[in-house]
Amino acid sequence: MTAFFEILMSIQWFPGHMTSARRNAAETMAVTDVVIEVVDARLPEASTNPLVHELRRQRQRPCLKVLNKSDLADPVATREWIAWYDRQPGIRAVAVSSKNAGEVACLPGLCQGLATHRNDNAKPLRMMIMGIPNVGKSTLMNALVKRKIAKVGDEPAVTKSQQSHSLGARRWITDTPGLMWPKIEYDSDGYMLAASHAIGRNAIIDEEVAVFLADLLLARYPERLAERYGFAVEGLDGVAVVEGVARRRALRGRGGEPDLEKASQAFLQDYRDGKLGRISLETPETRQAMLSRADAARKVTEQTVIGTPNQD
Ligand code: G4P
């Protein structure tokens, strides 16, 4: 286990407010017609909380999957993700940038299409916004109700309690706090979430996350690294990229050696701010490949355990 994951597991990963948030979400789900699940368009599946699916399934509620921050994501990958989600039962997907209020205006209509029976004063359409911290739920909510009701912040878990708001006579929307889940199953999801700042500052080791991100960009968007930092990236690995950033930005420790911690923070901030261009950390294809690798590794582990002679 890497230091990053040791820290991830040692922090109080499912704190009290997450447990009560989950309970409240389950109660609200009972009186909801359509779930608006906000995910980060750059990492839609890694930023999907399996708890949302579970709560939805228990009540058989349809879902509008909102791929938010699409202004930061690779448009080709986003199109692939929308087609992928639209093939799944009970799900419709749309890409928006909630910072652009005009783009979210279509969402209530799309939700209405998923619950056509809820369309009069006696049976208003009841929507519920869900998603992990920092994917843009508050920004989306503010854009939908056209005023500042939810506090927007780049530190996770800013929205603390549920609030309902009317969107005209026949539509209601309920805001829920960012909901994490107890165990992140795949290491790469943890890194992607950390790179995109869904996992808070105190829970991550910037250097490990930066090296992961650099390796991913070397494989998928090498030209963006070269453009932004002005050095050739052929033959480099993630560590060398972070060292290169330190040199380029003249970030040095006391002994004059490259300050990898500062370089990692600068590099991660560039990615978060979109300074490396529109980047998607996963596509349906890379997701499938990752799941297949994880599955194969799990089978090998199971066979090894079964095949190990009893030591007693
Ligand atoms: P949350 O409720 O899900 O926790 O997320 P919140 O709305 O607080 O948004 C988290 C950060 O993501 C905010 O950045 C917000 O502005 C940004 N954000 C939300 N939607 C979008 C989007 O569609 N595109 C982009 N590029 N950013 C988005 P911040 O740094 O705290 O605030 P700000 O300085 O950007 O306003």
Binding pocket residue ranges, ligand 1, CB within 6 Å? 68-69, 71-72, 97-99, 131, 133-139, 152-154, 158-159, 178
Q: Which pLDDT score, from 0 to 100, does residue 149 have?
A: 78
Model confidence at 13: pLDDT above 60: no
* Per-residue DSSP letter, 252: B
> Average pLDDT of 148-173?
72
Ligand 1, pocket-test mutation among 71, 130, 137, 154, most atoms within 8 A of CB: 154
Domain locations in the chain? 20-175, 184-296
Give residues with Cβ within 8 angstroms of 237, minimum separation 6: 214, 215, 218
Ligand 1, pocket-test mutation among 99, 141, 145, 160, most atoms within 8 A of CB: 99
Choose the CATH number for 20-175 among 3.40.190.10, 3.40.50.300, 3.40.50.2000, 3.10.105.10: 3.40.50.300
Q: Which pLDDT score, from 0 to 100, does residue 1 have?
A: 52
Q: Give, in degrees to the nearest 5, the angle at Cα 45 between 236 and 296.
A: 70
Contact 268, 210 (CB under 8 A): yes
For the chain, percent of residues with pLDDT exceeding 70: 87
> Average pLDDT of 91-104?
96
Model confidence at 168: pLDDT above 80: yes
Q: Ligand 1: distance of its center to the CA of 155 in Å?
A: 10
> Average pLDDT of 48-53?
93
Q: Which pLDDT score, from 0 to 100, does residue 10 have?
A: 45
Give residues with Cβ within 8 angstroms of 244, minimum separation 6: 229, 231, 233, 236
Task: Using pLDDT thresholds of 50, 70 and 90, give the confidence band for residue 143.
Answer: very high
Task: Using pLDDT thresholds of 50, 70 and 90, give the confidence band for residue 157.
Answer: very low
Q: Which pLDDT score, from 0 to 100, does residue 272 have?
A: 95
Atom nearest to 157 CA in ligand 1:
4
Q: Which pLDDT score, from 0 to 100, does residue 11 have?
A: 44
Model confidence at 17: pLDDT above 90: no
Q: Ligand 1: distance of its center to the CA of 42 in Å?
A: 14
Task: Using pLDDT thresholds of 50, 70 and 90, give the confidence band for residue 205.
Answer: confident
pTM of the model: 0.90
> What is the pLDDT of the chain when averaged over all its residues?
89
Q: Ligand 1: distance of its center to the CA of 274 in Å?
A: 12
Q: Ligand 1: distance of its center to the CA of 135 in Å?
A: 7
Task: Using pLDDT thresholds of 50, 70 and 90, give the confidence band for residue 176.
Answer: confident
Q: Which of 168, 118, 133 is nearest to 38 (CA)?
A: 133
Could you give the angle at which helices 3-10 and 206-220 cross, rounded to 10 degrees?
A: 120
Ligand 1, pocket-test mutation among 139, 161, 273, most atoms within 8 A of CB: 139
**Bridge pairing between strands 171-175 and 125-130:** parallel
Ligand 1, atom 20: nearest CA belongs to which residue?
136
CATH number of 184-296: 1.10.1580.10
Task: Using pLDDT thresholds of 50, 70 and 90, give the confidence band for residue 305.
Answer: confident
Phi-psi region of 60 (alpha: psi -120 to 50; beta: other; left: phi over 0): left
Atom nearest to 274 CA in ligand 1:
26
For the chain, percent of residues with pLDDT exceeding 90: 71
Please report, for residues 18, 80, 119, 136, 285, the alpha-carbon distance to residue 172 in angstroms, rounded to integers and kept in the order given: 24, 31, 11, 19, 37
